[in-house]
Amino acid sequence: MSYLFKGSLHGQICEDCIETLSGIEVRLYLPWRRNNETHETNGKDNFRIVSAAEAKQREELLIAKTTTDANGNFSFKIEEEYQQAAFDIDIICHTVPFAVKRPEAGQAVQLHLTTIIPIQIEYWNFTIPHKIWCNIRGKYFDAWVICGHLRNCETNRPIANASVTAWDADFLTDDNLGTATTDTNGHFRIDYTSAIF
């Protein structure tokens, strides 16, 4: 009897700013290295960029693939023969939110997240830590972000509907990286590319 393995994917921009990863390909593999099998679901110790050589070696281990929806959700139907199995979970990024640059054909970035046993997990909610996710966004997609909160310095209350502009600082000229309006929590986000500065 089959069962559904469900989860969601997000990327952390900073400690309190998380974005939904929609349109991301999620792949389930039988473990490439059996000693990686674990009950842990944080993935921090196993996270890595998958090289083209590794991806080629693991082709025969691929069990299933799907794509996250607009809310970053995904699901897999796990057949009975794999119910007690551990799986490597990888994602393939063809783009990231607000990115302008896309990899050339066949150059999407494959990331190994972790190895888990899905039947032991009711719902798998995975957020890529900001130190990793921001590096992926910048290095591979030239997608940079400035985010933060605007608060009253005396009351510490958020300032909503305020306009925030970011500038780079260099020797010749300061470039305008973008402008955003704070939300009801005083949060703002400005996306830009290296071409701007």
pLDDT in tens, 23-55: 999 999 999 865 444 444 444 457 899 999 999
74: which 2 tokens?
A: 């995904």
d(CA 137, CA 93): 10
* pLDDT tens digits, 82-110: 888 899 999 999 989 988 766 565 568 99
Average pLDDT over residues 132-154: 92
CA-CA-CA-CA torsion for 12, 77, 59, 104, nearest 10 degrees?
A: -50
Phi/psi class of residue 91: alpha, beta or left (left: φ > 0; alpha: ψ in -120 to 50)?
beta
Confidence (pLDDT) at 174: 78
Supply the pTM of this predicted model.
0.82
User: What is the Cα gyration radius of the chain?
Assistant: 20
